Structure 1
Amino acid sequence: IAMPAEASQAPQPYKLLIGGKHVDASDGRSIERASPGHGFVVSRYAQAGAAEVEAAVQAAHRAFETGPWPRMKASERAAVLLKAADLIESRLEQIARLDALESGKPIAQARGEIGGAVDIWRYAASLARTLHGE
């Protein structure tokens, strides 16, 4: 895709999501993704180290033990998965554009891949409705 006007702006920063909070890496490290087609830095991602991985694992464990997910009915879980699909679909063009810029792939391919991700979330929701047993 053509180089966007925002290429001259600072790269989009992305933080880690740990325990429901967006945080930087504790050591400040990050990974830059440059467009192979244009050479400009598109985005900058906080680079998780061992401390962040451990914190994320602990947060996930706490969320599962004390959060609502294990007590939700299958239909409620399905609704959460469908909401995720809807959110991805509502931002499909934005996500596909970033993917195409970062990877150098054609925008049509990126759109198809993101659309496929939406389909997978919806498929998972359909499976959640058919769970039986404990």
Structure 2
Amino acid sequence: NDSKATNINSAWYALESVNSPIIWIVGGIDKGNDYDSLKDLVKEKVKAIVCLGKDNSAIHKAFGDIIPKIVDTKSMQEAVNTAYYLGKKDDTVLLSPACASFDLFENYEDRGNQFKLAVRAL
């Protein structure tokens, strides 16, 4: 749960810290992010992307050619359920949005709390 990662640099550090295959929950209000600095790391570590937000086109454009599985979701419950379905034993589901939370959530704390509740509900 790295809901506070509202920019590319924060997401980079979160992705870098994980040593198992990642199902990455990413998205929200894109602040003009340049995802190029994440491409090599994403290609190396991420097996699937679960987009969470109203407009995920920038994420699809940035990673669509390197990640074969990108799924759009519109709620945290849907995102967590999708990540759970896509994951296998020893995979890591990482919420590190790289975007602001205000399209679907009150703030990053609300987004993080909804993530925790959705995980507990599995």
- TM-score normalised according to structure 1 size: 0.26
> Would you tell me which structure has more helix in proportion to its own residues?
1
Larger radius of gyration: 1
Q: Which has the higher contact order (CA 8 A, sep 6+)?
A: 2
